[in-house]
Amino acid sequence: MPELLLINGPNLGILGRREPEVYGTDTLADIEKAVSEVVSGRGWTVTSHQSDAEGDLVRTINDNPRTVGAIVNPGALMMAGWSLRDALAAYPQPWIEVHISNIWAREQFRHVSVIGPVASGVIFGLGTLGYRLAAQALLSRVAD
């Protein structure tokens, strides 16, 4: 079965209890389930990985080049995750960068992503709906 890679970076493992006024109350398990529901009709499964360590995320990306695509929320690594950026630049499939909060409505240091320029697309500020939208975008970009 074709696999979609779902990658979440630092502090996203505590979604649901982490600043719910910013990130909402959905957990990472809720997000994984929602993405799975979106792509299941196409026969895709979701391989999910969350880590607070950049090297773990890099290894996951490098070990999964044959997935159909990826949804990546790098968290704060978007600002300084250069090894993550390089791994994603070498990832041969389309992938979408997702952020739950509106990064432009937050602190100035969150306004630049080193990862976004190599992404197939970027979605931010739509809460966890952004993950489902990213899954739909990948469904439309990946041929059977």
Q: Which residues are catalytic?
A: 23, 99
88: buried, middle or exposed (CB in 10 Å: 19+, 13-18, 0-12)? buried
Between CA 126 and CA 124 the distance in angstroms is: 6
Place of tokens 């995320």: 57
Sequence-distant (≥ 6) Cβ neighbours of residue 14 within 8 angstroms = none
Coil, strand or helix at 126: coil
Using CA atoms of 90, 78, 94, 41 in order, give the dihedral in degrees to the nearest 10.
140
